[in-house]
A = this chain, B = another copy of it.
Protein backbone atom coordinates (compact mmCIF):
# COMPACT_ATOMS: atom_id res chain seq x y z
CA UNK A 1 0.00 0.00 0.00
CA UNK A 2 2.81 2.36 0.95
CA UNK A 3 4.63 1.59 -2.27
CA UNK A 4 1.51 2.23 -4.30
CA UNK A 5 1.01 5.49 -2.48
CA UNK A 6 4.52 6.60 -3.34
CA UNK A 7 4.22 5.44 -6.94
CA UNK A 8 0.88 7.18 -7.20
CA UNK A 9 2.19 10.42 -5.83
CA UNK A 10 5.36 10.33 -7.88
CA UNK A 11 3.54 9.56 -11.07
CA UNK A 12 1.49 12.72 -10.58
CA UNK A 13 4.55 14.85 -10.09
CA UNK A 14 5.36 17.70 -12.40
CA UNK A 15 8.83 18.86 -13.34
CA UNK A 16 9.71 21.83 -11.18
CA UNK A 17 11.87 24.88 -11.68
CA UNK A 18 10.42 26.24 -14.90
CA UNK A 19 7.75 28.65 -15.97
CA UNK A 20 5.30 27.66 -18.64
CA UNK A 21 4.51 30.03 -21.44
CA UNK A 22 0.78 30.49 -21.30
CA UNK A 23 -0.51 32.66 -24.11
CA UNK A 24 -3.40 34.76 -22.76
CA UNK A 25 -6.56 34.25 -24.73
CA UNK A 26 -5.01 31.44 -26.78
CA UNK A 27 -7.89 29.62 -28.46
CA UNK A 28 -8.26 25.95 -27.80
CA UNK A 29 -8.71 23.61 -30.73
CA UNK A 30 -10.84 21.12 -28.84
CA UNK A 31 -14.59 21.56 -29.22
CA UNK A 32 -16.59 21.63 -26.00
CA UNK A 33 -19.70 19.45 -26.04
CA UNK A 34 -20.76 19.58 -22.38
CA UNK A 35 -20.85 22.60 -20.12
CA UNK A 36 -22.65 22.30 -16.77
CA UNK A 37 -22.25 26.01 -16.07
CA UNK A 38 -19.96 28.87 -17.05
CA UNK A 39 -17.32 27.93 -14.50
CA UNK A 40 -17.43 24.17 -14.35
CA UNK A 41 -15.62 21.33 -16.08
CA UNK A 42 -15.84 21.28 -19.87
CA UNK A 43 -15.05 18.14 -21.89
CA UNK A 44 -14.45 17.60 -25.59
CA UNK A 45 -16.17 14.91 -27.65
CA UNK A 46 -13.46 12.40 -26.79
CA UNK A 47 -13.95 12.89 -23.07
CA UNK A 48 -10.80 14.91 -22.52
CA UNK A 49 -11.07 17.77 -20.06
CA UNK A 50 -10.46 21.19 -21.55
CA UNK A 51 -7.93 23.24 -19.63
CA UNK A 52 -9.91 25.21 -17.03
CA UNK A 53 -10.08 28.95 -17.63
CA UNK A 54 -10.58 31.84 -15.26
CA UNK A 55 -9.97 29.73 -12.16
CA UNK A 56 -8.07 32.53 -10.41
CA UNK A 57 -11.49 34.05 -9.83
CA UNK A 58 -12.78 30.82 -8.30
CA UNK A 59 -12.73 30.01 -4.59
CA UNK A 60 -9.21 29.47 -3.24
CA UNK A 61 -9.25 26.65 -0.66
CA UNK A 62 -5.63 26.17 0.48
CA UNK A 63 -1.94 25.84 -0.37
CA UNK A 64 -0.12 22.60 0.52
CA UNK A 65 3.66 22.82 0.27
CA UNK A 66 6.17 19.92 0.25
CA UNK A 67 9.46 21.52 -0.86
CA UNK A 68 12.47 19.60 -2.11
CA UNK A 69 14.68 20.68 0.78
CA UNK A 70 12.31 19.01 3.25
CA UNK A 71 12.23 15.79 1.21
CA UNK A 72 15.88 14.88 0.65
CA UNK A 73 15.97 16.93 -2.55
CA UNK A 74 13.38 14.77 -4.30
CA UNK A 75 9.89 15.85 -3.29
CA UNK A 76 7.05 14.25 -5.23
CA UNK A 77 5.49 17.73 -5.35
CA UNK A 78 8.24 20.32 -4.82
CA UNK A 79 6.01 23.32 -5.52
CA UNK A 80 3.30 25.32 -3.80
CA UNK A 81 -0.12 24.06 -4.82
CA UNK A 82 -2.65 26.87 -5.03
CA UNK A 83 -5.94 24.99 -4.98
CA UNK A 84 -9.31 26.33 -6.14
CA UNK A 85 -12.87 25.00 -6.45
CA UNK A 86 -15.47 26.31 -8.90
CA UNK A 87 -17.93 28.70 -7.22
CA UNK A 88 -21.08 26.66 -7.93
CA UNK A 89 -19.52 23.62 -6.26
CA UNK A 90 -18.41 25.76 -3.33
CA UNK A 91 -22.00 26.96 -2.97
CA UNK A 92 -23.20 23.35 -2.95
CA UNK A 93 -20.55 22.35 -0.39
CA UNK A 94 -21.57 25.32 1.74
CA UNK A 95 -25.21 24.25 1.55
CA UNK A 96 -25.01 20.45 1.78
CA UNK A 97 -21.46 19.65 2.87
CA UNK A 98 -21.05 17.48 -0.24
CA UNK A 99 -19.17 17.79 -3.50
CA UNK A 100 -21.69 17.93 -6.35
CA UNK A 101 -21.44 15.89 -9.50
CA UNK A 102 -19.53 18.15 -11.88
CA UNK A 103 -17.37 19.72 -9.15
CA UNK A 104 -13.95 20.73 -10.41
CA UNK A 105 -10.92 21.37 -8.23
CA UNK A 106 -7.92 23.04 -9.85
CA UNK A 107 -4.38 22.75 -8.53
CA UNK A 108 -2.07 25.47 -9.87
CA UNK A 109 1.60 24.64 -9.38
CA UNK A 110 3.81 27.53 -8.27
CA UNK A 111 7.57 27.28 -7.83
CA UNK A 112 9.28 28.18 -4.57
CA UNK A 113 10.50 31.63 -5.54
CA UNK A 114 12.57 32.57 -2.52
CA UNK A 115 13.21 31.50 1.04
CA UNK A 116 13.96 34.80 2.70
CA UNK A 117 12.17 38.14 3.08
CA UNK A 118 12.08 41.11 5.45
CA UNK A 119 9.47 39.17 7.41
CA UNK A 120 11.82 36.24 8.02
CA UNK A 121 12.96 32.94 6.58
CA UNK A 122 10.31 30.85 4.94
CA UNK A 123 8.79 29.91 1.63
CA UNK A 124 7.52 32.45 -0.89
CA UNK A 125 5.67 31.78 -4.12
CA UNK A 126 7.60 32.18 -7.37
CA UNK A 127 6.21 31.48 -10.84
CA UNK A 128 3.41 29.36 -12.28
CA UNK A 129 4.81 26.07 -13.54
CA UNK A 130 1.88 23.75 -14.04
CA UNK A 131 -1.80 22.99 -13.77
CA UNK A 132 -3.79 19.93 -12.73
CA UNK A 133 -7.47 19.35 -12.07
CA UNK A 134 -9.85 16.81 -10.61
CA UNK A 135 -13.49 16.48 -11.59
CA UNK A 136 -16.24 14.53 -9.83
CA UNK A 137 -18.25 13.06 -12.66
CA UNK A 138 -20.43 9.97 -12.84
CA UNK A 139 -20.35 10.31 -16.60
CA UNK A 140 -16.59 10.64 -17.08
CA UNK A 141 -15.36 8.55 -14.15
CA UNK A 142 -18.11 5.99 -13.47
CA UNK A 143 -15.71 3.42 -12.02
CA UNK A 144 -13.29 5.70 -10.15
CA UNK A 145 -13.56 6.04 -6.36
CA UNK A 146 -16.11 8.75 -5.61
CA UNK A 147 -16.33 9.34 -9.37
CA UNK A 148 -13.28 11.58 -9.15
CA UNK A 149 -11.18 11.86 -12.31
CA UNK A 150 -7.74 13.48 -12.44
CA UNK A 151 -6.17 15.47 -15.27
CA UNK A 152 -2.77 17.02 -15.89
CA UNK A 153 -2.09 19.98 -18.19
CA UNK A 154 1.58 20.49 -17.32
CA UNK A 155 4.11 19.86 -20.10
CA UNK A 156 7.84 20.15 -20.51
CA UNK A 157 9.95 23.00 -19.26
CA UNK A 158 8.94 26.31 -20.78
CA UNK A 159 6.25 24.76 -22.98
CA UNK A 160 2.63 25.98 -22.90
CA UNK A 161 0.10 24.05 -20.87
CA UNK A 162 -1.94 21.46 -22.71
CA UNK A 163 -5.27 22.69 -24.08
CA UNK A 164 -6.92 19.44 -23.02
CA UNK A 165 -5.99 16.37 -21.02
CA UNK A 166 -7.05 12.75 -20.86
CA UNK A 167 -8.10 11.00 -17.68
CA UNK A 168 -5.08 9.86 -15.64
CA UNK A 169 -4.83 6.15 -14.82
CA UNK A 170 -6.57 5.51 -11.52
CA UNK A 171 -3.44 4.45 -9.62
CA UNK A 172 -1.67 7.71 -10.43
CA UNK A 173 -3.82 9.82 -8.17
CA UNK A 174 -6.48 7.77 -6.40
CA UNK A 175 -3.88 5.77 -4.54
CA UNK A 176 -3.16 8.87 -2.49
CA UNK A 177 -6.60 10.45 -2.57
CA UNK A 178 -8.18 7.33 -1.09
CA UNK A 179 -6.71 8.47 2.22
CA UNK A 180 -8.14 12.00 2.03
CA UNK A 181 -10.52 13.31 4.71
CA UNK A 182 -13.68 14.05 2.75
CA UNK A 183 -14.83 12.24 -0.41
CA UNK A 184 -11.26 11.78 -1.72
CA UNK A 185 -10.51 15.50 -1.26
CA UNK A 186 -7.75 16.51 1.18
CA UNK A 187 -9.95 18.87 3.18
CA UNK A 188 -7.60 18.36 6.13
CA UNK A 189 -5.31 20.78 4.26
CA UNK A 190 -8.06 23.10 2.98
CA UNK A 191 -9.26 25.32 5.83
CA UNK A 192 -11.65 27.22 3.56
CA UNK A 193 -13.60 24.03 2.81
CA UNK A 194 -13.59 22.86 6.41
CA UNK A 195 -14.97 26.21 7.54
CA UNK A 196 -17.65 26.17 4.84
CA UNK A 197 -18.86 22.57 4.98
CA UNK A 198 -22.62 22.57 5.42
CA UNK A 199 -22.63 26.01 7.09
CA UNK A 200 -25.30 27.41 4.79
CA UNK A 201 -23.81 30.89 4.62
CA UNK A 202 -20.25 32.07 3.95
CA UNK A 203 -18.29 31.73 7.20
CA UNK A 204 -16.48 35.01 6.47
CA UNK A 205 -19.72 36.97 6.15
- Verify if A64 is at the interface (C-beta below 8 Å from B): yes
Contacts A63-B82, A124-B189 given; does A119 touch B9 at CB 8 Å: yes
Q: Quick check: is A66 within 8 A (CB to CB) of the other chain? A: yes
- When the two chains form the complex, which single residue of B119, B179, B200, B202 contacts A76, counting CB atoms closer than 8 Å? B119
| With contact pairs A76-B120, A117-B66, A199-B24 given, residues A53 and B125 touching in the complex (Cβ less than 8 Å) | no
* Per-residue contact bits, chain A 186-205, to B (CB 8 Å; 1 contact, 0 not): 10111110010001111111
Does A151 sit at the interface, judged by CB under 8 A?
no
Q: Given A25-B205, A57-B202, A63-B63, is A122 in contact with B70 using a C-beta cutoff of 8 Å?
A: yes
Extra contacts, 13 of them, besides A66-B119, A71-B122, A77-B119 (Cβ < 8 A), are: A9-B119, A9-B120, A25-B205, A53-B202, A56-B192, A57-B59, A57-B87, A60-B82, A64-B125, A70-B120, A71-B120, A110-B191, A124-B188
Q: Which residues in B have their C-beta under 8 angstroms from that of A18?
A: none
Q: Does A141 contact B (CB under 8 A)?
A: no
A146 at the interface (CB under 8 A from B): no
A residues whose Cβ falls under 8 Å from a Cβ of B = 5, 9, 22, 24-25, 52-57, 59-60, 62-67, 70-71, 75-77, 80, 82, 84, 87, 110, 113-114, 117-128, 176, 179, 186, 188-192, 195, 199-205
In the complex the two chains form, what is the Cα distance from A93 to B78 in whole Å?
A: 30
- Report the bound CA distance from A84 to B67 in whole Å: 23
Chain B residues positioned under 8 Å from A54 (CB to CB) = 202, 204-205
**What's the minimum C-beta distance from A102 to chain B, rounded to whole angstroms?**
19
The distance from the CB of A202 to the nearest CB of chain B, in whole angstroms, is 6
